[in-house]
Amino acid sequence: MNGLNRTSRVQLYKRLTIRFFIAVIIAAFVFFGLPKLIKLLLPFVFALVGAAIINPLAERINRLGNRINKNIKIPRKITALVLNILVLFLVLLLIYFVTYNVIKEAISLANNILRNWSSIVRTYDEFLDKLTPNISVMPQSLIDILQDVKDSVLVFVQNISKNIVSFTVSTTTSRITSTGTLLINLITFFLALFFLGFDYYSIGEAIRNRIDMRMLDTFVLMKRSVVNALGSYFKAQLILSLFAFFFMLIALTIYGQPYALLIALFLGIIDILPVIGIIAIVLPWGIVEYVVGDPHKGIFLALLGMIFFIIRKLLEPKVMGTQTGLPPLLVLFSSYVGLQFSGLWGALLGPVTLMFVISIARSGILDNTMADLRMIYDLVADMLRSED
């Protein structure tokens, strides 16, 4: 390090300063700009992902057909078109199934609340009566707060029962008919998927012909890193979420819990969210059921939540490790840091960003930066030794 002259040191500082600002800009874009950009271009992002999956699959199907019968020569575009239509059918079928069942169970839930309103109020009062012996020792301010909470809970439940049907139907309708919502997004997605399916390789070839080879190599490395990070993380989350959905659906259905599909779907979505877990919903639910007079159901829900928590914690390291290569502690840490910076989107993108950085480091793109950092470390170490 002592062999560096003044000019070399200045160049070293300039390189590191430029790289530092580039890293800050990229990090700011990932946590603040990328979520908005993804939301804006979501149909095209899904279409690009779909085309990247469908076109190689179409080629494999064609090669398989040629192996079976060499006279079979189906153009790739035709195969891609058939696969696109199949994807369209499956997506519409899934939307219909989920929407129909959610609205059906939401309406049934609202009707049950209205029909059993007197029983709900009586059960709620009994629950509060069990707390009465402990209320006398509480400060008056806390007693007033509890009374306000009692009134607020009853008003909240009553309003839900009155508005849940209209809210569910109006929300579904607005999502389908409003400009820029589900219907427009679906149409845009399928149009983009068809266009990309027909011209997928020609578009890629046109891009490659117009980009410098060195830049193209860097772009390919970054693309692989992004695809690996996104694919690995979301595949792991999808596996865990689907496991949570089916586990809860089967358990609640066997127990005979009404609205098992709706509850399992809600819990499956909750399981996707970082930091929050299903046990944070199921365990308090079980405690409430136990206190209000249904101890069997309360014990069942508490055991269900704890059993699922244990099984998931046993599965999570294997699934996350297999799919992402990251220890669960690093996933939790990156989710927490992302949550502090950019809310829920940051929590979702935190592990992806960490995996992207690790993939970039492994690809060799950061080798020069790491060499410069080692030179800075040696320089600082020499300065400290000279002061001693």
CA 230-234-236 angle, 5° bins: 125
333 belongs to a structural domain: no
89 belongs to a structural domain: yes
> Over the stretch 198-221, which tens digit does the pLDDT of each residue have?
777 777 777 777 777 777 777 777
Q: What's the domain range around 174?
A: 41-126+161-210
169 belongs to a structural domain: yes
> Percent of the chain beyond pLDDT 90?
3
139 belongs to a structural domain: no
| pLDDT greater than 80 at residue 178 | no
187 belongs to a structural domain: yes
Question: Distance between CA atoms of 358 and 364, rounded to whole angstroms?
Answer: 10
269 belongs to a structural domain: no
- pLDDT value at residue 179: 43
Q: Which of 119-123, 269-273, 377-381 is predicted with the least confidence, judged by mean pLDDT?
A: 119-123
82 belongs to a structural domain: yes
- pLDDT value at residue 1: 46
> Over the stretch 249-295, which tens digit does the pLDDT of each residue have?
999 999 888 888 888 888 888 887 665 678 888 888 888 777 666 78
| Torsion angles phi and psi, residue 23, rounded to 5 | -65, -40
8 belongs to a structural domain: no
> Over the stretch 306-360, which tens digit does the pLDDT of each residue have?
898 888 877 876 787 677 777 777 777 877 787 777 676 677 777 777 877 777 7
**Tokens encoding 269:** 């979505």
Alpha helices in the chain (DSSP H): 6-28, 34-40, 42-68, 76-115, 117-135, 140-177, 182-209, 213-255, 260-272, 279-291, 295-324, 328-363, 367-387
| pLDDT, greater one: 251 or 153 | 251
What average pLDDT does this structure show over 40-61?
80
Overall number of domains in the chain: 1
pLDDT band at residue 158 under the 50/70/90 scheme: low
